[in-house]
C-alpha cells in the first residue's frame, strides 16, 4: 500500500456506506486520503466515516441520493467547504433490480435505475471534472458492471445504464484532458451484501474463468492505480475486474 500515497488529497466515494464502496473508501483512507462518504442514509455514512477517522485521515459523511440531479451541487459544495479540494471521485453508487420482463418493467423502475446508475454519475462527474480542471488535476473513476457486456433479459435497464456509463468514460476523458483522467472499472460478481440475495448455489455456477465470486478487497488495487499518478497515461479506459467472465450470470 506504500506504493500509493494520497496524503493531503480528498476522495469522494458515492455509495460508500457498504459493499465495494465501503472497501474503496477505507482503502483510500489507508493510503492517506481524506474521504467523503456519500450515500442515501446518513447513519450508514457516519459509520464508515468513523472507520476512516479511526484509520487516521479526516472524513465527512453526506446523505445524498445521487439519482437526484439537484442533490449533487450541494454534495460538491459540502466537500469543498470541508476540505477545500477534490482530487478523486469514485462514482460507485448503483442499483441492480431484476425485472420480470421488459414489457412488465415500469417507467418508475426504469427511470430510477437510469437516474442512479447513469444520470447521477454524469452530473457529478461534470461538476467534479470542472473543479478539478480549475484546480490543476484529478481522477474520476466510475464503477460499472460486466453486465454491460453480458446483459440478460432480467437486467436489461441495469445493463444498458452501465453500458452508457462505459461510453461516457471516453467522452469525459476527452473533455477534461489533459489534467483530469477519467476511467471506469467494470467488476463482475463480488461477495458483498447484495450477493446474499442471489440464488443458492449461484457461485458454483458462475460463468467466470476463476469459477468464484470476487472478494471486495480484490477490486481495490485497480481503483488505487487509477486514482494515483502511476496511471498518468491511462484515461478513457474501461478495466475489467471480473474473474474472467464469459457469459451472463442470470
pLDDT tens sequence across 186-227: 999 998 877 777 777 888 888 999 999 999 889 999 999 999
Question: Measured between alpha carbons, how far is 248 from 207 in angstroms, rounded to an integer?
Answer: 7
- Looking at residue 237, its pLDDT comes to 98
The pLDDT of residue 1 is above 60: no
Instruction: Find, among 111, 165, 157, the residue nearest to 140 by Cα.
Output: 165
Mean pLDDT of 117-131: 98
pTM confidence score: 0.96
Q: Which fold has domain 10-241?
A: Rossmann fold (3.40.50)
* Catalytically annotated residue among 158, 176, 213, 246: 158
- Looking at residue 204, its pLDDT comes to 85
- Looking at residue 99, its pLDDT comes to 84
Binned at pLDDT 50, 70 and 90, residue 126 comes out as very high
- Looking at residue 194, its pLDDT comes to 76
Which cell goes with 68?
Answer: 437526484
**How far is residue 249 from each of residues 97, 150, 207, 229, measured CA to CA in Å?**
14, 8, 6, 35
Question: Measured between alpha carbons, how far is 28 from 25 in angstroms, rounded to an integer?
Answer: 5
Helix (H, G, I), strand (E, B) or coil at 104: coil
DSSP 69: G
- Looking at residue 12, its pLDDT comes to 98
Question: Measured between alpha carbons, how far is 140 from 172 in angstroms, rounded to an integer?
Answer: 9
- Looking at residue 107, its pLDDT comes to 95
- Interacting residues of 35 by C-beta distance below 8 A, sequence separation 6+: 10, 11, 12, 13, 16, 25, 28, 29, 49, 52, 57, 58, 59, 60
- Looking at residue 74, its pLDDT comes to 98
- Interacting residues of 200 by C-beta distance below 8 A, sequence separation 6+: none
- pLDDT digits 0-9 by tens, 162-194: 999 999 999 999 999 999 999 999 999 998 877
246 is catalytic: no
- Looking at residue 115, its pLDDT comes to 97
The pLDDT of residue 130 is above 90: yes
Mean pLDDT of 58-70: 98
Amino acid at each position: 500500500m506504500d506504493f500509493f500515497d494520497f496524503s493531503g488529497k480528498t476522495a469522494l466515494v458515492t455509495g460508500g456506506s457498504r459493499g465495494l464502496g465501503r472497501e474503496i473508501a477505507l482503502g483510500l483512507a489507508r493510503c492517506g486520503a481524506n474521504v467523503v462518504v456519500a450515500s442515501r442514509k446518513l447513519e450508514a455514512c457516519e459509520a464508515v466515516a468513523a472507520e476512516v477517522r479511526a484509520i487516521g485521515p479526516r472524513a465527512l459523511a453526506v446523505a445524498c441520493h445521487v439519482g437526484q440531479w439537484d442533490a449533487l451541487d450541494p454534495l460538491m459544495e459540502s466537500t469543498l467547504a470541508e476540505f477545500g479540494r477534490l482530487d478523486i471521485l469514485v462514482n460507485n453508487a448503483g442499483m441492480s433490480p431484476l425485472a420480470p420482463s421488459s414489457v412488465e418493467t415500469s417507467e418508475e423502475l426504469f427511470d430510477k435505475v437510469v437516474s442512479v446508475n447513469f444520470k447521477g454519475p454524469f452530473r457529478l462527474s461534470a461538476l467534479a471534472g470542472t473543479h478539478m480542471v480549475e484546480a490543476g488535476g484529478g481522477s474520476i473513476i466510475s464503477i460499472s458492471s460486466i453486465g454491460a457486456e453480458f446483459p440478460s433479459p432480467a437486467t436489461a435497464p441495469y445493463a444498458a445504464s452501465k453500458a452508457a456509463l462505459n461510453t461516457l468514460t471516453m467522452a469525459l476523458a476527452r473533455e477534461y484532458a489533459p489534467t483530469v483522467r477519467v476511467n471506469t472499472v467494470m467488476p463482475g460478481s463480488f461477495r458483498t451484501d447484495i450477493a446474499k440475495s442471489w440464488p443458492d448455489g449461484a457461485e458454483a455456477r458462475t460463468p467466470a474463468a476463476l469459477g468464484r465470486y470476487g472478494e471486495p478487497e480484490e477490486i481495490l488495487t485497480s481503483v488505487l492505480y487509477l486514482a494515483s499518478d502511476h496511471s498518468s497515461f491511462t484515461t478513457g479506459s474501461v478495466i475489467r475486474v471480473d474473474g474472467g467472465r464469459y457469459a451472463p450470470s442470470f
